[in-house]
Amino acid sequence: MSSTGSRPVPLRVVLDCDTANEIDDQFAIAYALGSPTLDVRGVISVQNTLIHGAGSVERYQEEAERVVALCGRKADVPCVRGAVRPMETPGSPVLSEGLDFLIAEAKRGPLTIIATGPITDIASLLLVAPEVQENLRVVWLGGFPDAATYIRWRLGELNGRADIAAWRVLFAQPVALLQLPGWPGVAKLAVEYGPYVAELRAMGRPVAAYLAEIADAWRAQRETLGYGPQRRKILWDVANVAAVIAPAAVTVTPTATPALDVAGAHDFDRPGRTVDVVTDLDAAWILADLRAALLRLPAML
Protein backbone atom coordinates (compact mmCIF):
# COMPACT_ATOMS: atom_id res chain seq x y z
CA MET A 1 0.00 0.00 0.00
CA SER A 2 1.34 3.41 -0.99
CA SER A 3 0.57 6.68 0.75
CA THR A 4 -0.37 10.24 -0.12
CA GLY A 5 0.97 12.45 2.65
CA SER A 6 -0.10 10.74 5.87
CA ARG A 7 -3.08 8.94 4.34
CA PRO A 8 -2.51 5.37 3.09
CA VAL A 9 -3.72 4.61 -0.44
CA PRO A 10 -5.18 1.10 -0.84
CA LEU A 11 -3.46 -1.19 -3.34
CA ARG A 12 -5.36 -1.66 -6.60
CA VAL A 13 -6.16 -5.34 -7.18
CA VAL A 14 -8.29 -7.52 -9.44
CA LEU A 15 -9.22 -11.05 -8.42
CA ASP A 16 -9.25 -13.68 -11.18
CA CYS A 17 -11.00 -16.75 -9.77
CA ASP A 18 -12.63 -20.08 -10.60
CA THR A 19 -15.17 -19.44 -7.84
CA ALA A 20 -17.28 -22.53 -7.00
CA ASN A 21 -14.63 -24.85 -8.36
CA GLU A 22 -14.14 -25.56 -4.65
CA ILE A 23 -14.89 -23.21 -1.72
CA ASP A 24 -11.63 -21.38 -1.07
CA ASP A 25 -12.12 -18.76 -3.81
CA GLN A 26 -15.18 -17.57 -1.93
CA PHE A 27 -13.11 -17.10 1.23
CA ALA A 28 -10.45 -15.24 -0.76
CA ILE A 29 -12.98 -12.83 -2.29
CA ALA A 30 -14.52 -12.05 1.10
CA TYR A 31 -11.06 -11.63 2.64
CA ALA A 32 -10.04 -9.12 -0.03
CA LEU A 33 -13.30 -7.18 0.22
CA GLY A 34 -12.94 -6.96 3.99
CA SER A 35 -9.40 -5.63 3.85
CA PRO A 36 -8.96 -1.85 4.26
CA THR A 37 -5.60 -2.00 2.46
CA LEU A 38 -6.99 -3.30 -0.84
CA ASP A 39 -8.93 -1.45 -3.53
CA VAL A 40 -10.70 -4.33 -5.27
CA ARG A 41 -11.44 -3.16 -8.79
CA GLY A 42 -13.34 -6.29 -9.84
CA VAL A 43 -13.68 -10.05 -9.77
CA ILE A 44 -13.16 -12.00 -13.00
CA SER A 45 -14.47 -15.54 -13.47
CA VAL A 46 -12.02 -17.71 -15.41
CA GLN A 47 -12.65 -21.12 -16.95
CA ASN A 48 -11.83 -24.43 -15.36
CA THR A 49 -13.17 -26.81 -17.99
CA LEU A 50 -10.96 -29.55 -16.55
CA ILE A 51 -13.32 -29.73 -13.57
CA HIS A 52 -16.66 -28.31 -14.71
CA GLY A 53 -16.66 -28.53 -18.48
CA ALA A 54 -17.76 -26.00 -21.07
CA GLY A 55 -20.14 -24.15 -18.73
CA SER A 56 -17.61 -23.52 -15.99
CA VAL A 57 -17.48 -19.72 -16.34
CA GLU A 58 -21.25 -19.33 -16.00
CA ARG A 59 -21.18 -21.41 -12.81
CA TYR A 60 -18.28 -19.43 -11.38
CA GLN A 61 -19.76 -16.07 -12.40
CA GLU A 62 -22.98 -16.79 -10.53
CA GLU A 63 -21.06 -17.70 -7.38
CA ALA A 64 -18.75 -14.67 -7.59
CA GLU A 65 -21.76 -12.37 -7.90
CA ARG A 66 -23.37 -14.04 -4.87
CA VAL A 67 -20.30 -13.61 -2.66
CA VAL A 68 -19.70 -9.99 -3.70
CA ALA A 69 -23.36 -9.17 -2.96
CA LEU A 70 -23.18 -10.82 0.47
CA CYS A 71 -20.16 -8.65 1.19
CA GLY A 72 -22.26 -5.56 0.42
CA ARG A 73 -20.19 -4.61 -2.61
CA LYS A 74 -22.50 -5.39 -5.53
CA ALA A 75 -22.75 -1.72 -6.50
CA ASP A 76 -19.04 -0.96 -6.76
CA VAL A 77 -17.19 -4.23 -7.47
CA PRO A 78 -18.04 -5.55 -10.94
CA CYS A 79 -18.05 -9.29 -11.59
CA VAL A 80 -16.85 -9.96 -15.12
CA ARG A 81 -16.76 -13.09 -17.27
CA GLY A 82 -13.29 -14.16 -18.34
CA ALA A 83 -11.99 -16.85 -20.69
CA VAL A 84 -14.47 -19.66 -21.32
CA ARG A 85 -11.86 -22.17 -22.50
CA PRO A 86 -8.14 -22.85 -22.13
CA MET A 87 -5.58 -21.51 -24.59
CA GLU A 88 -4.94 -23.89 -27.48
CA THR A 89 -1.25 -22.95 -27.76
CA PRO A 90 1.08 -20.51 -25.97
CA GLY A 91 0.48 -18.09 -28.83
CA SER A 92 -3.31 -18.14 -28.87
CA PRO A 93 -4.91 -15.78 -26.33
CA VAL A 94 -8.55 -16.24 -25.37
CA LEU A 95 -10.54 -13.04 -25.80
CA SER A 96 -13.18 -12.12 -23.25
CA GLU A 97 -14.86 -9.29 -21.37
CA GLY A 98 -12.52 -10.10 -18.49
CA LEU A 99 -9.46 -9.62 -20.68
CA ASP A 100 -10.75 -6.20 -21.79
CA PHE A 101 -11.35 -5.29 -18.14
CA LEU A 102 -7.79 -6.27 -17.19
CA ILE A 103 -6.29 -4.25 -20.04
CA ALA A 104 -8.28 -1.17 -19.03
CA GLU A 105 -7.32 -1.47 -15.35
CA ALA A 106 -3.65 -2.09 -16.13
CA LYS A 107 -3.51 0.98 -18.35
CA ARG A 108 -4.66 3.12 -15.43
CA GLY A 109 -1.56 2.33 -13.38
CA PRO A 110 0.06 -0.28 -11.14
CA LEU A 111 -2.18 -3.31 -10.69
CA THR A 112 -1.88 -6.53 -8.73
CA ILE A 113 -3.79 -9.51 -10.14
CA ILE A 114 -4.68 -12.08 -7.49
CA ALA A 115 -5.12 -15.23 -9.56
CA THR A 116 -6.59 -18.23 -7.74
CA GLY A 117 -7.47 -20.45 -10.69
CA PRO A 118 -6.19 -21.34 -14.17
CA ILE A 119 -3.99 -18.57 -15.56
CA THR A 120 -5.80 -18.16 -18.91
CA ASP A 121 -6.86 -14.53 -18.51
CA ILE A 122 -3.47 -13.33 -17.33
CA ALA A 123 -1.55 -15.19 -20.04
CA SER A 124 -3.92 -13.75 -22.63
CA LEU A 125 -3.29 -10.27 -21.20
CA LEU A 126 0.47 -10.73 -21.48
CA LEU A 127 0.13 -11.71 -25.13
CA VAL A 128 -2.45 -9.14 -26.22
CA ALA A 129 -1.17 -6.10 -24.29
CA PRO A 130 2.54 -6.58 -23.56
CA GLU A 131 2.89 -2.82 -23.10
CA VAL A 132 1.11 -3.01 -19.70
CA GLN A 133 3.45 -5.61 -18.22
CA GLU A 134 5.46 -2.95 -16.40
CA ASN A 135 2.31 -2.04 -14.46
CA LEU A 136 1.50 -5.61 -13.44
CA ARG A 137 2.22 -7.92 -10.56
CA VAL A 138 0.70 -11.40 -10.71
CA VAL A 139 0.10 -13.40 -7.54
CA TRP A 140 -0.82 -16.95 -8.63
CA LEU A 141 -1.67 -20.09 -6.72
CA GLY A 142 -0.22 -22.99 -8.68
CA GLY A 143 2.81 -24.98 -9.70
CA PHE A 144 5.58 -26.52 -7.62
CA PRO A 145 8.65 -25.21 -5.79
CA ASP A 146 11.00 -28.10 -6.64
CA ALA A 147 11.31 -31.47 -8.37
CA ALA A 148 10.48 -33.57 -5.29
CA THR A 149 7.21 -31.72 -4.70
CA TYR A 150 6.33 -31.97 -8.38
CA ILE A 151 6.85 -35.74 -8.41
CA ARG A 152 4.67 -36.19 -5.32
CA TRP A 153 1.80 -33.82 -6.06
CA ARG A 154 1.71 -33.27 -9.82
CA LEU A 155 -1.71 -34.88 -10.34
CA GLY A 156 -3.21 -32.79 -7.54
CA GLU A 157 -2.23 -29.40 -8.99
CA LEU A 158 -5.30 -28.40 -10.97
CA ASN A 159 -4.75 -24.70 -11.67
CA GLY A 160 -1.81 -25.34 -13.96
CA ARG A 161 -3.21 -28.49 -15.54
CA ALA A 162 -6.42 -26.66 -16.48
CA ASP A 163 -4.46 -24.52 -18.96
CA ILE A 164 -0.94 -25.75 -19.60
CA ALA A 165 -0.37 -23.41 -22.55
CA ALA A 166 -1.19 -20.40 -20.35
CA TRP A 167 1.09 -21.76 -17.61
CA ARG A 168 3.95 -21.83 -20.12
CA VAL A 169 3.23 -18.23 -21.15
CA LEU A 170 3.28 -17.07 -17.53
CA PHE A 171 6.69 -18.62 -16.93
CA ALA A 172 8.11 -17.32 -20.20
CA GLN A 173 6.99 -13.68 -19.99
CA PRO A 174 8.98 -11.17 -17.87
CA VAL A 175 6.00 -10.08 -15.76
CA ALA A 176 6.53 -9.71 -11.99
CA LEU A 177 5.28 -12.96 -10.46
CA LEU A 178 4.72 -14.20 -6.94
CA GLN A 179 3.98 -17.91 -7.22
CA LEU A 180 2.25 -19.80 -4.42
CA PRO A 181 2.64 -23.57 -4.85
CA GLY A 182 0.08 -25.53 -2.88
CA TRP A 183 2.78 -27.60 -1.21
CA PRO A 184 4.47 -27.41 1.24
CA GLY A 185 3.65 -23.88 2.46
CA VAL A 186 0.07 -23.06 1.47
CA ALA A 187 -1.17 -26.50 2.58
CA LYS A 188 -0.56 -25.40 6.17
CA LEU A 189 -3.53 -23.05 5.90
CA ALA A 190 -6.00 -25.65 7.20
CA VAL A 191 -8.98 -25.37 9.54
CA GLU A 192 -10.95 -27.97 11.51
CA TYR A 193 -14.42 -28.17 9.98
CA GLY A 194 -16.54 -28.34 13.13
CA PRO A 195 -15.00 -25.51 15.19
CA TYR A 196 -14.37 -23.30 12.18
CA VAL A 197 -17.92 -23.57 10.82
CA ALA A 198 -19.23 -22.72 14.28
CA GLU A 199 -16.88 -19.71 14.43
CA LEU A 200 -18.12 -18.46 11.08
CA ARG A 201 -21.77 -18.78 12.10
CA ALA A 202 -21.12 -16.88 15.32
CA MET A 203 -19.78 -13.83 13.43
CA GLY A 204 -23.24 -12.52 12.58
CA ARG A 205 -22.23 -11.67 9.02
CA PRO A 206 -24.25 -12.83 5.97
CA VAL A 207 -21.13 -13.74 4.04
CA ALA A 208 -19.65 -15.65 6.99
CA ALA A 209 -22.89 -17.61 7.35
CA TYR A 210 -22.71 -18.45 3.65
CA LEU A 211 -19.09 -19.54 3.96
CA ALA A 212 -20.13 -21.83 6.81
CA GLU A 213 -22.92 -23.24 4.65
CA ILE A 214 -20.68 -24.07 1.71
CA ALA A 215 -17.99 -25.50 3.98
CA ASP A 216 -20.55 -27.91 5.47
CA ALA A 217 -21.79 -28.80 1.98
CA TRP A 218 -18.25 -29.40 0.70
CA ARG A 219 -17.47 -31.72 3.61
CA ALA A 220 -20.67 -33.70 3.04
CA GLN A 221 -20.03 -33.95 -0.69
CA ARG A 222 -16.51 -35.25 -0.19
CA GLU A 223 -17.67 -37.86 2.27
CA THR A 224 -20.51 -38.94 -0.06
CA LEU A 225 -17.99 -39.36 -2.88
CA GLY A 226 -15.99 -41.81 -0.75
CA TYR A 227 -13.06 -39.68 0.38
CA GLY A 228 -13.55 -40.81 3.97
CA PRO A 229 -14.22 -38.68 7.04
CA GLN A 230 -13.42 -35.02 6.32
CA ARG A 231 -11.98 -33.30 9.38
CA ARG A 232 -9.91 -30.45 7.93
CA LYS A 233 -10.11 -28.08 4.97
CA ILE A 234 -7.23 -26.21 3.39
CA LEU A 235 -8.24 -22.64 2.50
CA TRP A 236 -5.77 -22.52 -0.38
CA ASP A 237 -6.70 -19.25 -2.09
CA VAL A 238 -6.75 -17.23 1.12
CA ALA A 239 -2.93 -17.36 0.98
CA ASN A 240 -2.87 -15.24 -2.19
CA VAL A 241 -4.74 -12.41 -0.52
CA ALA A 242 -2.63 -12.63 2.64
CA ALA A 243 0.59 -12.47 0.62
CA VAL A 244 -0.57 -9.17 -0.89
CA ILE A 245 -1.92 -7.67 2.34
CA ALA A 246 1.02 -8.68 4.57
CA PRO A 247 4.19 -9.84 2.79
CA ALA A 248 5.73 -10.58 6.20
CA ALA A 249 3.18 -13.39 6.66
CA VAL A 250 4.82 -15.47 3.92
CA THR A 251 8.34 -16.73 3.29
CA VAL A 252 9.50 -15.99 -0.24
CA THR A 253 12.37 -17.79 -1.97
CA PRO A 254 13.63 -16.66 -5.41
CA THR A 255 13.47 -19.78 -7.57
CA ALA A 256 14.16 -20.63 -11.21
CA THR A 257 11.08 -21.80 -13.10
CA PRO A 258 11.34 -25.25 -14.70
CA ALA A 259 10.86 -25.93 -18.38
CA LEU A 260 7.33 -27.15 -19.20
CA ASP A 261 6.44 -29.24 -22.23
CA VAL A 262 3.06 -29.32 -24.01
CA ALA A 263 1.74 -31.90 -21.54
CA GLY A 264 2.86 -29.90 -18.51
CA ALA A 265 5.76 -32.17 -17.63
CA HIS A 266 8.39 -30.28 -15.62
CA ASP A 267 12.14 -30.33 -16.22
CA PHE A 268 13.91 -28.72 -13.28
CA ASP A 269 17.28 -29.39 -14.92
CA ARG A 270 16.39 -26.77 -17.55
CA PRO A 271 15.84 -23.64 -15.47
CA GLY A 272 14.10 -20.58 -16.86
CA ARG A 273 13.63 -17.15 -15.36
CA THR A 274 13.75 -16.58 -11.62
CA VAL A 275 10.51 -15.68 -9.83
CA ASP A 276 9.46 -15.24 -6.21
CA VAL A 277 8.01 -18.43 -4.74
CA VAL A 278 6.16 -18.74 -1.42
CA THR A 279 7.69 -21.66 0.46
CA ASP A 280 6.13 -21.13 3.91
CA LEU A 281 3.53 -19.01 5.69
CA ASP A 282 2.23 -18.01 9.09
CA ALA A 283 -1.11 -19.82 9.07
CA ALA A 284 -2.23 -18.58 12.50
CA TRP A 285 -1.66 -14.93 11.57
CA ILE A 286 -3.43 -15.33 8.23
CA LEU A 287 -6.49 -17.00 9.74
CA ALA A 288 -6.69 -14.25 12.38
CA ASP A 289 -6.48 -11.58 9.69
CA LEU A 290 -9.14 -13.36 7.64
CA ARG A 291 -11.40 -13.31 10.70
CA ALA A 292 -10.80 -9.59 11.18
CA ALA A 293 -11.63 -8.95 7.51
CA LEU A 294 -14.88 -10.90 7.69
CA LEU A 295 -15.92 -8.93 10.78
CA ARG A 296 -15.48 -5.68 8.81
CA LEU A 297 -18.14 -6.79 6.33
CA PRO A 298 -21.85 -5.99 6.74
CA ALA A 299 -23.61 -7.51 9.76
CA MET A 300 -26.94 -9.30 9.82
CA LEU A 301 -29.95 -6.97 9.89
10 cis-preceded (ω within 30 degrees of 0):
no
Can you list the domains of the chain with their CATH numbers?
A: 2-296 (3.90.245.10)
Stated pTM of the model: 0.96
Q: Is 117 helix (H, G, I), strand (E, B) or coil?
A: coil
Per-residue exposure over 123-156, b if at least 16 CB sit within 10 Å of its own CB, e if not: bbbbbbbeebeebbbbbbbbbbbbeebbeeeeee
- The pLDDT tens digits along the chain (301 residues) read 655 455 678 999 999 999 999 999 999 999 999 999 999 999 999 999 999 999 999 999 999 999 999 999 999 999 999 999 999 999 999 999 999 999 999 999 999 999 999 999 999 999 999 999 999 999 999 999 999 999 999 999 999 999 999 999 999 999 999 999 999 999 999 999 999 999 999 999 999 999 999 999 999 999 999 999 999 999 999 999 999 999 999 999 999 999 999 999 999 999 999 999 999 999 999 999 999 999 999 998 7
